[in-house]
Chains A and B, each alone.
Chain A
Amino acid sequence: MATEERTQEILEKLKNAVIEYDEDAAKEGAQEALDEGVKPNDAIFDGLVSGMQEVGKLFEAEEYFVPELLMCADALYAGLDILKPHVEQLDLGVKGSVVIGTVEGDVHDIGKNIVKMMFDVAGFNVYDLGRDVPLDQFVEEQLKTDSELVCLSAMMTTTMVGMQKVIEDLKKKNPDVKIMIGGAPVSGDIAEKWGADGYADDATNALADAINMVSSLKKMKEEAEAREKQK
């Protein structure tokens, strides 16, 4: 077991690797965490995700833009790929699976991938349909996988309108499913009008929403751990 001090050092290394988009350092940090007995869950949430939270702040402050964000995400995945096989599933009180994709006619998937990353971190089962996805496929995949959440993305005004149809179909077949829509042309008004449960209109908001989601998971993780300890 690593000492408290050494653990902090490894977590800090993972965090900085994400912020400084250093894939090699992220891999190294992840391997050190495993070798030296840092809990993989801590390494993910207190290392990689903490780094991404900082990246979110830099993005909001317009110090970082999308290219930096993509490189930070690469570093996060480099660490996550090593840590993930060793994660013990904690009972966080949420069971997650999500269908995600960019709607037909739209070949932009950066926003979608950023959101997907956070679902991956949070340990959701992610059914990624990719981009330019025929509308029926969202409905089929949701039914097939019984996912609680469907995320639809469109970058262009010219493709956004397709989402309305998917939302209608999904709600008709499964009124309980939660639907998030995202993309540059999307607004709160549109989300409400079309019956979506949430929206993100740019990468900042997508990232902020995704980080909020993971931050609350992080809190739930701490609570779950506290409960474990009490037993």
Chain B
Amino acid sequence: METMTSRERVLKLFKGEPTDRPVCFSGMGNATTEGLNKLGYKFAHVHLDAQQMAETAVTTPQLFGFDSCVLPFDLCVEAEAIGAQINTYPNSDDLLYPTIKEKVIHNEEEMEITIPEDLVTRGRIPLVKEAIGIARKTIGETVAIGSYLLGPFTLAGQIMELNDLLKLSFKKPDKVGKLLADLTCVIVAVAKEYEAAGVDYLTVREMGATSDVLSPRVFKSLILPHLKNIFEQLRVPSVLHICGKTNNIIVPMVESGATAISVDQKNDVVDTRKKLGDDALIFGNYDPYNVLVSGNPELVKETMRKCLEDGVSAVWPGCDIWPTVPPENFKAMMETMNG
């Protein structure tokens, strides 16, 4: 029996209090084709219109009983405000997420960036804020509203060539450190705006720092101090998400000071739970494509049960939910939460 609203459930979870059933939500994008079709909106356009963004975001809890509503849907908002140009693929019929078309930094010499004074009024930051407000008006206090930001290293990879960033992390760690410090200010400034707009929680996505790419040593020395700085300044509950191999950076992830950590299907959650103890909030860790989209309802249920048995604190995807998720799979996921 459900005795709590989704929002109560999520807020209690973050406080470490018991909930009426396991929480099933996300801090990353979860627009669905089902929702888009109901509204008659084109995916390429919902990123550019606050009303459409909000309406699309609320369809996921409305249609499926998902415990959260998350917006925006792409990973370019902060980079765009700093000055990068984005491509939304307006003419493509495929589902494509916006990408960065023109970087801000083109070579090592350009790494000393000036953060625009009016940063939070630039790009789509006002649009996302407006969309958060509209979403809140639409669903009221019943569903938790979340938003996300990129971590400093991942954001650096959006505004300069990842190739260069990775090499310079070795060759010129001081220069990279300075850039990450500047980007930390950007992230905090944007986070404050989202908090003012009324989000219940924020996720920081530091995908670029996965141990698939970067050594735990570099993660700790170069990136962790900035993450700590960010989480110290957030008021709402926070989640640190890193995908890929994370078992060997799980302890520093917690040391970042985020309220919860989020890992994907490559993480061995049994081991993580053992390392972190009973009280740590661990969100994860199903494969949002191979299970939720291309699996069948049986596989979905089996996977969700496995996540819970392994010891996640909330069932949560390893990445954005791919829009074409079949409704029966989404429903199967939510059914598992009720036993």
Q: A residues bordering B, Cβ < 8 Å? A: 62, 65-68, 70-71, 74, 104-110, 113, 132, 135, 156-162, 165, 184-185, 187, 189-190, 193, 202-203
Interface size, B (range): 20 to 34
Q: Is the interface of B mostly helix, strand, loop or mixed?
A: loop
**B22 sits at the interface (CB 8 A):** no
Q: Can you list 24 contacts pairing A with B, beta carbon distance less than 8 Å?
A: A62-B248, A66-B213, A67-B167, A67-B170, A68-B170, A70-B163, A70-B166, A71-B167, A104-B89, A104-B94, A105-B89, A105-B96, A108-B162, A109-B163, A113-B163, A132-B87, A135-B94, A156-B97, A157-B320, A165-B94, A184-B244, A190-B290, A190-B294, A202-B212
Residue contact A105 to B218, C-beta cutoff 8 Å:
no
The one of B87, B162, B320, B322 that contacts A161, using a Cβ cutoff of 8 Å:
B322
Residue of A with least CB distance to B165: A67
Given contacts A66-B214, A190-B290, A190-B294, 16 further A-B contacts (CB under 8 A): A65-B211, A67-B170, A67-B214, A71-B167, A71-B170, A71-B171, A74-B167, A104-B96, A105-B99, A109-B163, A110-B162, A113-B163, A158-B320, A161-B289, A162-B96, A202-B212
A residues in contact with B96, CB < 8 Å: 104-105, 158-159, 162
Are A157 and B214 CB-contacts (below 8 A) given A104-B92, A105-B97, A110-B162?
no
Residues of A with C-beta under 8 A to B94: 104-105, 135, 162, 165
Instruction: Count contacts between A and B, CB distance < 8 Å.
Output: 86
**Which residues of chain B in 189-212 are interfacial with respect to chain A, using CB atoms and an 8 Å cutoff?**
211-212
Chain A residues lying within 8 Å of B167, measured Cβ to Cβ, are 67, 70-71, 74
Contact A107-B100, Cβ < 8 Å, known A67-B166, A67-B167, A162-B94:
yes
Any chain A CB within 8 A of the CB of B215? yes
Question: Nearest Cβ distance between residue A183 and chain B, in whole angstroms?
Answer: 11
- In Å, the complex CA distance between A162 and B169 comes to 32
Assess whether B69 is interfacial by the CB under 8 Å rule: no
B-to-A contact residues, CB < 8 Å:
87, 89, 92, 94-97, 99-100, 162-163, 166-167, 169-171, 211-215, 218, 243-244, 248, 288-290, 294, 319-320, 322, 324
Partner of B290, one of A62, A109, A187, A202: A187
Interface contact B290-A65, CB-CB below 8 Å: no
Specify the main secondary structure of chain A where it touches its partner. Answer: helix
Contact A65 B97 (CB under 8 A): no
Query: Which A residues are in CB contact (< 8 Å) with B211?
Result: 62, 65
For residue B73, give the distance in angstroms from its CB to the closest CB of chain A. 10
Query: A185, B214: Cβ atoms under 8 Å?
Result: no
Given the known interface contacts A105-B96, A107-B99, the answer about A184 and B212 at a Cβ–Cβ threshold of 8 Å is: yes
A203 CA to B163 CA in the complex, in Å?
14
Of the candidates B166, B320, B324, the one whose C-beta lies within 8 Å of that of A66 is B166
CB closest residue in chain A, given B87: A132
A203 touches B162 (CB 8 A): no
**Partner pick for B97 among A135, A159, A185, CB 8 A cutoff:** A159
CB distance from B222 to the nearest CB of A (A): 11
Residues of chain A within 8 A (CB-CB) of B215 are: 62, 65
- Which residue from A110, A132, A202 sits with its C-beta under 8 Å from B99? A132
| Whole-angstrom distance between the Cβ of A75 and the nearest chain B Cβ | 12
A203 x B212 contact (CB < 8 A): yes
Closest-CB distance, B243 to chain A (whole angstroms): 8
Q: Are B100 and A65 in touch, CB under 8 angstroms?
A: no
Chain B residue at smallest Cβ distance from A71: B167
Cβ of B46 to closest chain A Cβ, rounded Å? 14
Given contacts A71-B167, A189-B290, contact A157 B97 (CB under 8 A): no
Which of B100, B166, B212, B319 lies in contact with A157, CB distance below 8 A? B319
Give chain B residues whose Cβ lies under 8 Å from the Cβ of A74.
167
> Which residues of chain B are within 8 angstroms of A104 by Cβ–Cβ distance?
89, 92, 94, 96
Chain B residues within an 8 Å CB radius of A135 = 94
Q: Which residues of A contact B166 (CB under 8 A)?
A: 66-67, 70, 110
Contacts known (A65-B215, A107-B100); A157 close to B289, Cβ less than 8 A: yes
Check B244 against A65 for contact (C-beta < 8 Å).
no
The answer to whether B290 touches A67 (Cβ under 8 A) is: no
Give bound CA distance, A189 to B170, whole Å. Answer: 36
Question: Which residues of B have CB within 8 Å of A165?
Answer: 94
